[in-house]
Structures are given as structure tokens and as C-alpha cells.
Amino acid sequence: MNKNYQNLIHRLEEISRLKGVMSIIQWDQEVTMPTGAAEARANQISALAGVIHERMTDKILGEYLGELSVQKHDFCAAEQCNIEEACREFDLMTKVPKQLVQAIAALSSRGHAIWVQARKENRFIDFAPVIQEFLKLKREWAACAYPDSSVYDANIALFERGTTAAEISVIFDQLKEALIPFIQELEHHTYQPDVSFLQGYFPVEKQAALARRISEDIGFQFDKGRMDVSVHPFCGGSHSTDVRITTRYNENDFIESLYAVIHETGHALYEQGRMPDASDLPVSESLTMGIHESQSLFWERMIARSRGFCTHYFETICTAFPGNLQRATVDTFYQAINACRPGFIRVEADELTYPLHVILRFEIEKDLFEGNLSVGDLPEVWNEKMKKYLGIIPPTDTVGVLQDSHWSSGAFGYFPSYTLGAIYACQFYNALRKELPDTDKNIEAGYFVPIKNWLNQNIHRQGRLYTPQELVLRITGESLNPQHLIHYLKSKYSAIYKLNT
């Protein structure tokens, strides 16, 4: 093996492992860390971020990359990808001062603790300074990292590189135009699914057992992962052999925790399904967050909210909660878990209203970075958009502007990934059904192995060999197309609400 390439791999693996340590202490912060340790943890995260930055901007690493870039055509595709990705990261990181990287990392840790308390006490005023400081730091970061891009485009690039706010706006405008009047039509339609049997008392221990069973059935390997509880469900961990998912439980609503687990399991399967022989190298890393979200939404929406899935697990669910679902049938259960019910909480939203939750956040972030919205006006604008898009106004900021953890960690530009992921998921699912025509029967039989294997082969183990645009074209034969999601939603909900009868 080329000596310079060997040295590069050694350094990239070390950086990956340091990032794994960072992921674990961030997971610990949200799951097990005592609240009194928040300041110490912020300092620890800042220090580790500085060490990682030093490793990623080391001059010797730059020398290796300079020589290898000239010779990269002598390497195979995977090796070329490692070189190109390392060059991109090195170029990006050397533009950003270490002190700025540490400041953002420290605020991400400190901001999370402030958000948790502000959300609990319904005090946006306590969290507003965190947002204000992040906007300042993120503007500084954008000026360094992407001086030729708009500030918001630079932040989007962290999660959806190669995509701009203008391109996203075109897609989101199509969704708004199609979905807002359709949701209103369903709200006023004569037939409404019965959702009353989803309310009641559902013991947490039974919810946890059910969620664990279904997660394992889908393919999550618990010897290489674990499941815990956090304020906001997420998937983290340090490696493909140490993947950690969380959920939260509500004794009066088992659907929330169950589908949060299925969603995070989709993320986890992506991580556990990465290239086994290159798990610490750039080539095996996931693509954009849109592709990552496509995997969580693929399982949560396309699979787990299908009638076949409901058919397979209906008796299991009834057994877990005897007495709660006595009046339900497979059909009414399927309709109930998919009912269109405009609500305040994004993570609890149905498929149809979910994109509007994302579009609202995207538009707010865009206005914040473009200077068209002040932080102090955020709750009012949030509520106005909720009224305009979903016809409801949050009674508190806790279920409004304070509900998501993303801004507390500085993840501005992440939200569009959810709906881009939903579009990807829909296209991937259509491609899967063409290649594997027995998919519907397999879901109803609880046989998920062919689906997981197809995703492993076509997406998870492709790593970063292709751009998202190239990947979706290879799998589906066309570019990202929101009309697939629109058609899917209208067809599904027209049937559920019996619009054509």
C-alpha cells in the first residue's frame, strides 16, 4: 500500500475514534448525566472539540493529502473517496479558527441544558439568548467556511451539502400548495377515523417491551446497540457496533413512543449497516442527513404505518394493552394511527401534516439568518405560521417554539432534511416494490429481512461513494421528485377518509 495513503488512513481512523468519544459524551449528556454537571460537560466537549480540530488541521495531514490528491487516480473508488472526503474536511476545517469551533461546541452543550429547563418552565425568554449567540457564532463560521455562500446556505451545507435554500424553497412551495388545501378538505369531510381507543392508560413497561420487540424484529442488533430514554428521541453512538437510540414515554399515548423507536431504529439500521471493513473511514460514513432521515422515515412511515404492518402486529398490540383496543379492528387501527390531526408537536405529527411543521421551521431559520426576523419575535411568528398552515395556535411556547432540541445544539439547517428524507423514502420504497414484488406480503408476514438487505446493499453500504443526487438517480431512475410524496399522501389519505365513496 502507498505509504502516504497508509499514514492518511491511520490519521483518519484516529479522528473518527475521537469523534466517537465525542458522540458518547453527548449521548451521556442527554441520557444519564446529572444536571449539575452541565458546565463541566460543556468544558469537556469544548476541549475535545479543540483536540479534534487540531487533528483535522494538522499540517502533516495536509501534506499527505496534497501528494495523494495528485495520485488519486491510481487508487480504487473507495480509496479515492477517502482522499476526496479527507481533502474536503481538511479544507473546511483549516478555514475555521479553533477558538470558534470550541465556542460553538461549548454553547451546544450549555445550550442544551438551558433549553431543557426553559422548555420545562415554558420560558422562551431564558432560551432566547442561546439562539442569539448561536446566530452570531454561525454567521462567523459561515464567513470562514463558505465565504461565497449565503449564511443560511452555508449552514444547510453541514447537513445537505450541494443543496441551497432556494432549491429547497421550490420543493417546499409545491408541498404547501398541494397539502394545505387537502388537509383542510379532510378536516371538513363527513367521515372521520375513530381515534378514541388510542387514548387511555398504557403502562410504560409494556410500551418498552413492545417497542424493543418490534425494533429487534425490524433488524436492530441489541448486541451492537441499546435503547434508553431522553427528553427528545434521537439516535447516537460511537461506531456501527455501538449504536444508541432513545425514546420518551407517555402513559396516555403508546403510539408516540412506539413510532419514535421505529423512527430511530431506521437511523440505527443505517449505522449498523455501514461498510464493515471501513467503519472508521470517510467512505463508509452516511451521506447527507436527508438520506439518513429517508431511512428512519422509510421504516416509520412506508413500512410501520402500512396496513400490512398493522395486520401483522395488531394481535400483539392488543395483547400488550388488553382492554384498551377492544373496539378496534385492523382497519380501524390502521386508520386511527394514520388519522390527519393537525397538532402542535412535530415528532407526533401524522404523515400529511408533518411537512408543514418542517416548512415552518425552514422559513423561520431562513428569515433569522437573512435578518428578516428578530429572536424576540420568534414565538409570535411561530404561532402565526402554525395558524396559517395548520389552523391551530400553540397554547404555550413549550409545545410551540421550545419543543425541538435542534437549536439548542446549533443545528440550524437540519430541519429541511426531514422532508427531503420523506421524499427520498417514498422514491426508494417505490423502487423497492418494483424490485421485490412480494414486499407487501413480507410486511404482513413480519418478514423484514429482504427489505433490510435491500437497504443495506443499495444505500447503507454505498457510504459516500456517490452524491445524494447520484444515489437517488441510480436507485430510482430519476432525481428527487416531490410529486411522488404528494401522490402517495393524497392516494393514502383519500382512501382512509373515503373521499371517493
> Active-site residue numbers?
264
Cell of 313: 402486529
User: At residue 19, what is the residue type?
Assistant: K
Cα→Cα distances 215→154, 175, 306, 453, Å: 36, 31, 16, 16
Place of cell 459524551: 25
Nearest-CA neighbor of 286 among 152, 455, 145, 412?
Answer: 455
Do 232 and 405 touch, CB atoms closer than 8 A? yes
| Rounded Cα gap, residues 388 and 170, in angstroms | 19
d(CA 50, CA 341): 46
Q: Where are the alpha helices (DSSP H) in 246-339?
A: 254-272, 289-297, 307-320, 330-338
How is residue 490 written as a grid cell? 393524497
Residue found under cell 378538505: 185
Rounded-to-integer distance, Cα 367 and Cα 150, Å: 12
Q: Yes or no: say if 345 and 362 are a contact pair by the CB < 8 Å rule.
A: no
> DSSP letter at 194?
-
DSSP H helices, 298-415, are 307-320, 330-338, 354-369, 378-390
